[in-house]
Chains A and B, each alone.
Chain A
Amino acid sequence: SQQGEEDPQALSIQEGENATMNCSYKTSINNLQWYRQNSGRGLVHLILIRSNEREKHSGRLRVTLDTSKKSSSLLITASRAADTASYFCATDANTGNQFYFGTGTSLTVIP
């Protein structure tokens, strides 16, 4: 079952602007991961953040995790048209290695 919810469902920004997506989940977790999916294609792993971490960076990506609020955010800085995709968070629900995906955010970056 899906464990997470993301907002906004859709986001449209101009190239060069920053994009922030939020993910909320319901149960305790070990890890939370963010993925990107270009239209109709497979998922690309972006970043993993563990429950004992609060922030991670990878290039133009910044992920935060607040376990007390059961929420995470993904920030993409200086967005590019190529960042246009759907972004999903996935959590492991602290019960095993199965991952459950959020509802996703559809990001459109306008050149």
Chain B
Amino acid sequence: SAVISQKPSRDICQRGTSLTIQCQVDSQVTMMFWYRQQPGQSLTLIATANQGSEATYESGFVIDKFPISRPNLTFSTLTVSNMSPEDSSIYLCSVLGGTDTQYFGPGTRLTVL
């Protein structure tokens, strides 16, 4: 299994600002994923982040709003840009383990005022 940490664990931000969320894995992984979980809802995949290439975004998510970096095999960042209250969610990163299992970080709880 993989151990994943995220920073910050939570934040309260003003609308119009941006927040960058960091995801660190304790081992090298090829595929990392970013999810959003809106209050009381299930998880929605935002994008897949592969090292050395641009992230692949799911329908309804765009790079200008959610730019992603993947500088190496153990680290990724997700930025939530020009935030509005609708962006208030838990943001989770995950990685794909060797047995096709996805392991999740603890999440970043974002509140936008």
Residues of A whose CB lies within 8 Å of any CB of B are: 1-2, 30-31, 33, 35, 40-45, 48, 88, 90, 92, 96-104
Contact = CB atoms under 8 A, between A and B. Distances in A.
- Lowest 8 CB-CB distances: which A-B pairs, in order? A42-B106, A43-B104, A101-B43, A101-B42, A42-B104, A104-B42, A42-B107, A103-B42
A1 B109 contact: no
Contact of B90 (A33, A40, A44): A40
Contact of B102 (A1, A41, A45, A102): A45
Contacts, number: 60
Given A42-B107, A45-B103, A98 B92 contact: no
Nearest to A102: B42
Contact of A101 (B1, B44, B90, B101): B44
Given A2-B44, A42-B105, A104-B42, A98 B99 contact: no
B54 interface: no
Given A99-B102, A100-B45, A1 B59 contact: yes
User: What is the predominant secondary structure among interface residues of chain A facing chain B?
Assistant: loop
A45 B104 CA distance: 8
B104 A97 contact: no
Contacts of A44: 104
Nearest to A86: B42
Contacts of B60: 1
Contacts of A42: 92, 104-107
Contacts of A102: 42
20 contacts: A1-B60, A33-B101, A35-B104, A41-B106, A42-B105, A42-B107, A43-B92, A43-B94, A45-B104, A48-B99, A48-B100, A88-B43, A90-B102, A97-B48, A98-B45, A98-B58, A99-B102, A101-B35, A101-B42, A104-B42
Given A2-B42, A98-B48, 16 more contacts: A1-B59, A33-B101, A35-B104, A40-B107, A40-B109, A41-B106, A43-B92, A45-B103, A96-B48, A97-B31, A97-B100, A99-B45, A100-B45, A101-B35, A101-B43, A101-B44
